[in-house]
Amino acid sequence: MAENGEIVSEMNETLKTKQIAAIVGIAESTVRKYAKSLEEANYKFKTSDTGRFFTKEDAEIFRQVKEVRDKAGVKLDHACAIVVAQFNKTAQTMASAEVPSNKEHEALQSQYTLEYIKKLEEALHQQQEVIAKLEERLERQELRQDLRDENVTQLLREMAETKKQIAASKEKKWYEFWK
C-alpha cells in the first residue's frame, strides 16, 4: 500500500513538456531538443513506456542550460555538457557532505559559472591574438602584392617604350630610302 502512495505522489510531481516549457520560458520543441542534448551528455531522465517525464529537478537543469546559453553564448551541446558536469559534481558533493542550503547551492553554481566564463574569456583572448596575427600577415601579403603589381606595371611601361624605340629606329625616313 505504501508503494502505491509513493507512485501516486511521484506521478503528481512529474511535469510534462508543456509545463517545463512554461517554467523555463522556452518552446516545447526547445524542451525536446534540450532533453535530447542532455541525454547525449549522459543526463538521465525518468522514463516510462510512453516516453520521458520530468521532475522539478529537471526543470532546474533546463533553466541552467538556458542560462548558460544566454550568458556565455555557447552551443547547446557545450552548454549541456557544462550543466551535466556541474550537476554531477554537485551530486557527488552532496552525497559526501550534508545538503547545502539554497544560498550555498547558488554560490557553488555561480562559482562554476564564473570559472566557465573565465575559461571562455581566456579562449576568446587567444582567438583575438590569432586573429591579430592573421590580420598582420594579411597586411604584409597585400603590401607584397601591391609592390609586385607596381613592378609589373613599370616593366610593362619599359617594354612598351622599348618597342616604340625599336619601331622608330627601324622606320626609314623618306630621304634615307636610297641608302
So what's the pLDDT on residue 162? 93
pLDDT per residue as tens digits for the range 4-21: 444 434 445 788 888 888
Q: Are residues 94 and 138 in the same domain?
A: no
**Across 87-91, 126-130, 167-171, least confident range:** 87-91
Determine, yes or no, domain membership for 178.
no
CATH number for 67: 1.10.1660.10
Question: Could you read off the pLDDT of 49-106 as tens digits, one per residue?
Answer: 887 888 888 888 889 888 888 887 888 888 888 888 887 777 666 555 555 556 666 6
* Phi, psi values for residue 178, rounded to 5°: -80, -5
Express as a percent the part of the chain with pLDDT over 70: 78
Within-domain flag for 144 = yes
Alpha-carbon separation of residue 84 from 62, 114, 143 (angstroms): 10, 16, 50
Domain that holds residue 73: 2-99
8 Å CB contact between 66 and 38: no
